[in-house]
Homo-oligomer: A and B are copies of this chain.
Amino acid sequence: MSENKIPYKIYLSENEIPKKWYNLRADMKNKPAPLLNPGTGQPLTAEEMSGIFCEELVKQELDNDTKYVDIPQEIQDFYKMYRPAPLVRAYCLEKALGTPAKIYYKFEGNNTSGSHKLNSAIAQAYYAKNQGLKGVTTETGAGQWGTALSMACAYLGLDCKVYMVKVSYEQKPFRREVMRTYGAEVTPSPSMTTDVGKKLLAEYPDTTGSLGCAISEAVEVAVKNPGYRYVLGSVLNQVLLHQSVIGLETKAALDKYGVEPDIIIGCAGGGSNLGGLIAPFMGEKLRGEKDYRIIAVEPASCPSFTRGTFAYDFCDTGMICPLAKMYTLGSSFIPSANHAGGLRFHGMSSILSQLYHDGYMEATSVEQNDVFEAAEQFARVEGILPAPESSHAIRVAIDEALKCKETGEEKTIVFGLTGTGYFDLVAYEKFNNGEMTDVIPTDEDIAASVAKLPKVPGQE
């Protein structure tokens, strides 16, 4: 089919929604390093994990071999409510840029949670329900993950307890109310409902909380309450498995029109979106069938890939969670305020870290003002108001398209538009008023937190 026949939006039909997730690890020669028990320094066993995660998810977390995992029918049915997600040809953006490049984006914001997080939320909630559990606990900062999980739990009739960082709970009341509308119990963290919360409040009564503390509270509640487990929206192998639905649909839509991308771009916080988007393409690259440039984009204020260290580290700032081998700025690294709240994690998915380490992908970092400039340009011509996180990918997609304008190359660029910015208008207001700032960590800042990496065998 000729390229000019490509519609603005490529929608797959419902029966083309993937029926299996793709497990990228099966094609990796160098598997991601296992999670370690922080007490023993030994790989975490399925049994140790099963007190925190539900059984099926433990299996998925540890399974480096099964290439395709069946998506249960109930999850497929839920996917039908908001999937397939459109792959959009950015004709208007191309025209505005005057570039010969062909730009596509996979839009994952077409659902009430406003982001791709729902793809894994429904999977994790389903397995919990299927195991006969009463409910799940989680933490949320910016609120996208908490919203997605609340929606999934409402659909399945599962109890949902969300620990929301207190400063977000107070400053982002709208996100909180979406979660409550979906029936979730939302508690500002730190709270008096957990030992860890009580201890922290006794010590720092005025604290506005942190993601690390909220994780600790959510884990404590899951472990202490029979019938509950803890769930997490990024970083983990299981999450990247579920998010492979993004990339599988993207590839199916491109294949339908015989289009092959040259460059694939995604924003990277914990890696859930990027890992999902690139999965089938990276698979081809790992198997030596195809070559693609794959670019991870992170904020300059939290540059795990571009300035971090590949090492074992804690996943949480509270240092109670397992150790993961990843590109990390150190679990004590505190990024300056950045409006892309979903990109403020100090570490990165172990899978993506290994791939980056092995040279299969690039990474770059961008500053906040440049990101919002791209966001505004994109919004005005493509209509969609993008999330700040997604706008990191937009920035680099525009930059690559402008390079094509200089060289005259007709490259095909695909990027992930992970979500919408309806709950990020405070950030847009700052940008509109010319008051947007950014703080880039110094080498000393990063060296200081990296110096505190935990000691494990082989890493002294």
Q: Residue A256 at the B interface, CB < 8 A?
A: no
Q: Does A380 contact B (CB under 8 A)?
A: yes
Cβ proximity bits A308-333 to B, threshold 8 Å, 1 near / 0 not: 00000000000000000000000000
Write the nearest CB–CB distance from A397 to chain B, whole angstroms. 17
Query: How many copies of this chain sit in the oligomeric assembly?
Result: 2
Bound Cα distance A23, B432 (Å): 40
Q: Would you give 17 A-B contacts (Cβ < 8 Å), ordered by A?
A: A7-B14, A8-B14, A8-B81, A110-B110, A111-B384, A112-B385, A155-B383, A173-B429, A177-B432, A178-B385, A180-B428, A180-B429, A181-B380, A181-B431, A182-B380, A183-B380, A422-B423
Asked if A155 contacts B7 (CB within 8 A), the reply is: no
Q: How far is the CA of A11 from the CA of B80 in the complex (A)?
A: 12
Residues of A within 8 A of B (CB): 7-9, 11, 13-14, 80-82, 92, 110-112, 114, 151, 154-155, 173-174, 177-178, 180-183, 376, 379-385, 420, 422-423, 425, 428-429, 431-432
* A128 CB to nearest B CB, Å: 17
Contacts of A422 in B (CB 8 A): 114, 174, 422-423
In the complex formed, the residue of B with least CB distance to A430 is B177
B residues less than 8 Å from A178 (CB atoms): 385, 425, 428
Q: Are A385 and B181 in contact (CB under 8 A)?
A: yes
At the interface, is chain A mostly helix, strand, loop or mixed?
helix
Which chain B residue lies CB-closest to A157?
Answer: B380
**Which B-chain residue is minimally distant from A113 (CB atoms)?**
B383
Residue of B82, B151, B425 touching A177 (CB-CB under 8 A): B425
Question: 5 tightest A-B contacts by CB?
Answer: A174-B425, A154-B380, A8-B80, A422-B422, A112-B385
Contact (Cβ within 8 A) A181 B112: no
13 further interface pairs, Cβ-Cβ under 8 Å (given A81-B382, A82-B383, A112-B385):
A8-B80, A8-B81, A112-B420, A114-B422, A151-B383, A154-B381, A155-B381, A155-B383, A173-B425, A178-B385, A181-B380, A181-B428, A183-B380
Identify A155's interface contact among B8, B82, B380, CB under 8 A: B380
A112→B383 contact, CB < 8 A: yes
- Are A376 and B181 closer than 8 Å at their CB atoms? yes
Interface centre among A174, A380, A383 (most CB of B within 10 A): A383
CB distance from A421 to the nearest CB of B (A): 9
With contacts A425-B177, A429-B173, A429-B177 taken as known, whether A111 is within 8 angstroms of B383 at the C-beta atoms is yes
Chain B nearest CB from A99 CB (Å) reads 18
Contacts of A111 in B (CB 8 A): 383-384
Q: Across the interface, name the chain B residue whose C-beta is closest to A7.
A: B14
Residue of B nearest to A122 (CB): B383
Given contacts A14-B7, A80-B9, contact A155 B384 (CB under 8 A): no
